[in-house]
Amino acid sequence: MSTIVRMVNLACETARREGGGRLRSLSIRVGAMTGILPYYLEKYFPEASKGTPAEGAVLKITEVPVTVSCMDCGTVYEPEKTPGRRCPRCGSIRGRVQTGRELMLDQIELEEVPQETGKDL
């Protein structure tokens, strides 16, 4: 719950800086290594956004897989979920995680705020 509350707060703060208005959608990227399950973000989003400019917005979640870059041959690959993960090209066990640790508010979409024309009628 605390993760989605932080995301909602960040989105609302960003919306205020951009001129206010309600949020239409929030896009979040969640890496497979974060231990955060998208199911729970979706489940708690309505409660976390209640009474905020994000209430009623659509929550879009992109799950980011783990990718590893082989430190010996440079191949980027998705490792198997078994012990002894090896580079599929050269067999090396030396790799550097490239993606899968992300947890970020990627994008927000705001409803249009009517602009004043500045004309007296």
Give residue-wise pLDDT tens across range 17-60. Answer: 988 889 999 999 999 999 999 999 999 999 999 999 999 999 99
User: Can you give the pLDDT at residue 121?
Assistant: 46
Give residue-wise pLDDT tens across range 85-98. Answer: 899 999 999 999 99
Q: What is the mean pLDDT of the chain?
A: 91
Share of the chain above pLDDT 90, in %: 82
Q: What is the pLDDT confidence band of residue 115, given thresholds at 50, 70 and 90?
A: low
CA 8 to chain centre: 11
Where residue 118 falls (left for φ over 0; alpha for ψ -120 to 50; beta otherwise) is left
From the CB of residue 44, how many other CB atoms can be counted at a distance below 10 Å?
17
